[in-house]
Structure 1
């Protein structure tokens, strides 16, 4: 009887203890034991691997997927490290269809394809110590996506080092350089001794060892007082400084220009409370600019856009000026296309990872040759022209035009594939009938533009219902164009 009472008491205690364990404790990820062996299938081979942990700011990452060593580098679960650790500020995505792993942080990106030794870091092809892999855990009976930890952490702007004593990779978070996300006009913050970028998103950084023009700053000028504008239509860079510093910046003793065949002129004006410095290259070609500053100097480096930027897009609003395009139901094509492009621009202005050139941002008419020449001069990775269709009042739907005989981008993206990507975003945004892709080899902008090019016809201005919807939804269509462009670079990164 006493034994029965003891058993009942013991059972009651166990039940009470189990009931008080929080559910989160039961389901939470565990910390693999560093040095312990785990059975994994890597590259199709079953093998035992000694666990390597990873710490972020000194705290061990909790995970069901233990890290391990391969090719003398540590491999970690992309999900548990880069998605779950919010302090890293990294977005993670994986496509089972394309087998691409994408990590993004601000303007930085690392795109990997499973089992490939090469990644695209900010659009530039880069060799890794070992590929990203799909790894099967026999303990969890589940696949995990693993990536080389040091390579990814460093290229996303954090610091990484290996600690043999802790048997862990140590990641210390670092802030990205402070930039104004307003597109090409950015002030940037400068420390008293460091160099800060005024034009974010560039492949190179202008500095004391890498510049075309160096300008001495007046004492006490705040770094936030300086911004830039790439006035590519007039083939010049404008440096805008709040305040009247015309005398200082006009003095030849306060600037140094490296002699080269491209430099044309340096001029200074003052109006409306701002000093404007204009820098013009000599030849009538479009140059791109990387601009940075220290407490003492402004450094400007100019070169071809392809050497300055990772991703280059030309966005064309069809028609304009004296050419109204199609008209119907009280609307003009040129007005709708411009509103759609300006909507897309509002999103690109907040994303420094892309350099976008616009054929027009006001009501004027760029010739057809101007549009394709712009794309060719800047070495565009993509060209898209936005149009509105017209036919009979009953005609309806969205279609996108491509050139089967057109050029490819440097990444191998064809006019057809590019148009298919655009159509996959714009058509659902309109909700109109799907008219599909149409092959048009005779259109000037698709024939003469030497990169992947596309022309999208949003809907029919001659159709009363579609005209009414288009008038009210130009912002939605602009966002769809923006999303299509950004997504396309994940699939077809520029090879720079």
Structure 2
């Protein structure tokens, strides 16, 4: 019996022994931060686009919930990035396409395309004792997302899964593509283009030539000659012929010049190649109706039963595949002022943007179908207007770029079907230069009370408006000829909502106020500081083609814009607001950083505030921080410095929004704070990479609350630090 018990004990020892050996062997012996340690945590695996990266001898490790991986194995060999390690500076630089990440061993400070970021776990040197290999281990999520790739932690597999961004191969190289992936319908029925969606190149929608135009409903034929790389699409009325890679196209033997050449394109999903051609030009040249549906991102092609086909061969010009709404563009000289007049057969909708650095004025006309004028015209004899260039995009917009001479000023006039811009030299005296008036008195029409008058400041177009209910054009037929300094003209128009609009066209940004005087109202104008007690410039970071940080479907530029302009303007634009606000952007437009900084001086602002959202490689980083530049920290006329402004907002605003963590006031050399002429700060309100922060900042109701509390904080700031005006 005793012998039997001894045998059982020995068997148990033998059975248990391999398990203990296996468990010990599964650990890693590492040398890190000068110390040897037994690492028994997760050994991280890595896949890139589903393919395993060989990290067996030096797997990733988890430090403070962050997966660190060897940069050379994962990002250099696996991802194909260009990597450089500077041994003396202990810096790792990783470049992939248009993204650059720079990190320092032992430091939590990192730079993404030159912009300072903070990581929660720093890169470090790790020696793997078993394989006798030293590796520089870096935070995998931070670097992956900074390079524009998608990161996913597979908990079940203990694996970092990296997915390449959507990319297109054309013109003999790969291009990262983050633009529209659109759809196509023919007569309202969807065309399956899931294997290669509609893509947009420089504003032009390109679609699959064969699948779209061989659709039965179009009754068209598709021909492709592989030898000479030509594509021909024809129906009973017309044909279009393209050569892949060439900007020359033919419609019924007539030669046309394209903005973008047809391309052979493949993506990194289906890995199939497709001939992609311009949707609008092709459809309309063949006599079909074409519409770009912005909301659904769909090229809508419709067969028209009755059509004057000859109109198309005459109507489409070599510079454009668009239509006939803009009838004429005329440049004329009137009393030394140069006018550019745009006339349409319908009311024109436009938006202007002056780029001071390049001396260009861009006007975007919406919902046009054709340009019947030349694409480029130069004016050698003009003093102010040097050239006019027209371009189009598939969304139906036409952009007119006007190049002007140095020192040229302008103002605008809009009468619905005719939109005019007057250009004049700033060193010339205006027609009102001799006037000493600082105000103009105008009648209040019968049936209208002073309280019904409203105003709208269109300072970005150098104009402001006084609006009243009803049609009262007759009351303003005799507007005084003697106008206040800086006011070029006053025009009276009526809109479709039965309102009368008085538009004041100004030579520069002016402040204004209206007051009642018996049966008239007085419009007082002057430099902004002569009119307003407190002036702030508000800068919603990023915009246009620069989305800023992107996380969980949210774009930083949208959050900045919603809080600082979309919702805050309601409060700042109230007639009784004690603070006058000017915004660097009022649309989804990319404004140059230098122009943002210079704007404060143009409007005589007291302070400048820029709003941004933060991001980090760690999901645990959270809270607000406010930056100012040490070289722009002199006290202004009422004793406020940039640091004082930063401290006030850091202490009074973020907590009202729900940002529980205060990361304090810091210095940084951001362009908008460094190159400013007034106390200037940049607020990083929260981390889009943190769940708590983005749950608050991404919510519309919370954005409205943030806008309201921001306005209240601005007002309380000026109460504590009065300007003395």
**Does the aligned pair in 1 maintain the 2:659–2:686 contact within 8 Å?**
no
Which residue of structure 2 aligns with residue 464 of structure 1? 691
**Does the aligned pair in 2 maintain the 1:210–1:301 contact within 8 Å?**
no
Secondary structure in structure 1 of the residue aligned to 2:491: strand
Deviation at 1:393, TM superposition (A): 3.1
Which residue of structure 2 aligns with residue 477 of structure 1? 706
- Rg larger in structure: 2
Which residue of structure 2 aligns with residue 428 of structure 1? 655
Q: C-alpha separation between the residues in 1 aligned to 2:573 and 2:675?
A: 28
Q: C-alpha separation between the residues in 2 aligned to 1:369 and 1:396?
A: 29
Which residue of structure 2 aligns with residue 362 of structure 1? 587
CA RMSD of aligned residues (A): 2.2
- 227-236 vs 260-269, which deviates more? 260-269
Q: C-alpha separation between the residues in 1 aligned to 2:474 and 2:718?
A: 45
Deviation at 1:220, TM superposition (A): 4.3
Higher relative contact order (CA 8 A, sep 6+): 1
Structure 1: any 5+ residue segments left out of the alignment? 1-208
Q: Which whole-Å deviations, capped at 9, do the CAs of 1:356-383 have from their partners, x for residues lacking one?
A: 1122333222322332232211211121
Which residue of structure 2 aligns with residue 388 of structure 1? 613
- TM-score with structure 1 setting the length: 0.53
Q: C-alpha separation between the residues in 2 aligned to 1:224 and 1:431?
A: 40
Q: How does 1:309-388 map to 2 (within 5 A)?
A: 309-341=532-564, 342-350=566-574, 351-388=576-613
Q: How does 1:247-266 map to 2 (within 5 A)?
A: 247-249=474-476, 251-252=477-478, 255-258=479-482, 262-266=486-490
**CA 1:348–1:259 in structure 2 vs 1: closer, same or farther (change >3 Å)?**
closer
**CA 1:463–1:378 in structure 2 vs 1: closer, same or farther (change >3 Å)?**
same
Structure 2: any 5+ residue segments left out of the alignment? 1-435
Q: C-alpha separation between the residues in 2 aligned to 1:359 and 1:449?
A: 13
Secondary structure in structure 2 of the residue aligned to 1:292: strand
Which residue of structure 2 aligns with residue 405 of structure 1? 631
Q: C-alpha separation between the residues in 2 aligned to 1:222 and 1:418?
A: 41
Q: Does 1:443 align with 2:670?
A: yes
Secondary structure in structure 2 of the residue aligned to 1:248: helix
Q: Does 1:238 align with 2:465?
A: yes
Greater helix share, 1 or 2?
1
Q: Which whole-Å deviations, capped at 9, do the CAs of 1:295-329 have from their partners, x for residues lacking one?
A: 43222121001000111111121111221111112
**Does the aligned pair in 2 maintain the 1:306–1:379 contact within 8 Å?**
yes
Q: Which whole-Å deviations, capped at 9, do the CAs of 1:45-77 have from their partners, x for residues lacking one?
A: xxxxxxxxxxxxxxxxxxxxxxxxxxxxxxxxx
Q: C-alpha separation between the residues in 1 aligned to 2:450 and 2:706?
A: 37
Q: Which whole-Å deviations, capped at 9, do the CAs of 1:414-433 have from their partners, x for residues lacking one?
A: 11110000101233233332
Which residue of structure 2 aligns with residue 271 of structure 1? 495
Deviation at 1:344, TM superposition (A): 3.2
Q: Which whole-Å deviations, capped at 9, do the CAs of 1:109-146 have from their partners, x for residues lacking one?
A: xxxxxxxxxxxxxxxxxxxxxxxxxxxxxxxxxxxxxx
Deviation at 1:489, TM superposition (A): 1.4
Deviation at 1:291, TM superposition (A): 1.2
**CA 1:475–1:216 in structure 2 vs 1: closer, same or farther (change >3 Å)?**
closer
Q: C-alpha separation between the residues in 2 aligned to 1:237 and 1:347?
A: 18
Q: C-alpha separation between the residues in 1 aligned to 2:486 and 2:588?
A: 32
Q: How does 1:197-236 map to 2 (within 5 A)?
A: 211-236=438-463
Runs (4+) off by over 6 Å:
none
**CA 1:483–1:215 in structure 2 vs 1: closer, same or farther (change >3 Å)?**
closer
- TM-score with structure 2 setting the length: 0.37
Q: How does 1:95-244 map to 2 (within 5 A)?
A: 211-244=438-471
Q: C-alpha separation between the residues in 2 aligned to 1:346 and 1:239?
A: 18
Q: C-alpha separation between the residues in 2 aligned to 1:261 and 1:310?
A: 20
Which residue of structure 2 aligns with residue 203 of structure 1? none
Q: Does 1:419 align with 2:646?
A: yes
Secondary structure in structure 2 of the residue aligned to 1:256: coil
**CA 1:479–1:270 in structure 2 vs 1: closer, same or farther (change >3 Å)?**
closer
Deviation at 1:210, TM superposition (A): 7.1
